[in-house]
Amino acid sequence: MMKKLALLALGLSLFAIPSRAQSADVSLSYSYFRGNSGGLNQNGGSGSVGYYPSHFLGFVGDFGAYHASPAGVSTNAVTFLFGPRLIARNPLKINPFVQAVFGGSHLTRTGFGSSNQFAYSFGGGVDIGMLPHLYFRPQVDYVGLRNSGQTLNCTRVSAGVAIRF
């Protein structure tokens, strides 16, 4: 019983952070999305919305849309993922982060239909301060698209800007 109370107190203390530590950010990036099995190269955009109740822990919604037309067949992928992000903030305004996000994806191919599947991503990047609230954000992620017992392994490389509030 005492062990459970101690774990509950520790968990609550992680979320009981003073309001001055709370922040949020919004990002928009160009993304190169590559399916490693089959070698499909797609271009598109991704964005995220992050809320940071503490100085180092945040919760993020990560969204992306990618397109390619190999041999005239239009292929689109959309991802919508949610999860935690750990960020190391410092006075130099070079803030590395890692994240693990989970959600879904929607794939469509002209003439072949569409499918929805479970998706997950592990990766990270760095926010490099350019102006007081504006950051350059390069990011690299592994993305897994899970459907019918198989996983399509993908890599996403992104570069864009983030605005912190």
Sketch out the chain's domains with CATH numbers.
40-164 (2.40.160.20)
- Which residue stretches of 33-119 are H helix? none
Report which of 55, 93, 77 is spatially closest to residue 152, judged by C-alpha positions: 77
pLDDT, tens digit only, all 165 positions of the chain? 445 544 544 454 444 444 456 899 999 999 999 987 667 899 999 999 999 999 899 999 999 999 998 888 898 999 999 999 999 998 889 999 999 999 999 989 888 888 899 999 999 999 999 999 999 999 999 999 987 788 889 999 999 999 999
80, amino acid identity: F
| Degrees, nearest 5: CA angle 133-136-139 | 130
pLDDT in tens, 28-41: 999 999 987 667 89
What is the CB neighbour count within 10 angstroms for residue 19?
Answer: 6
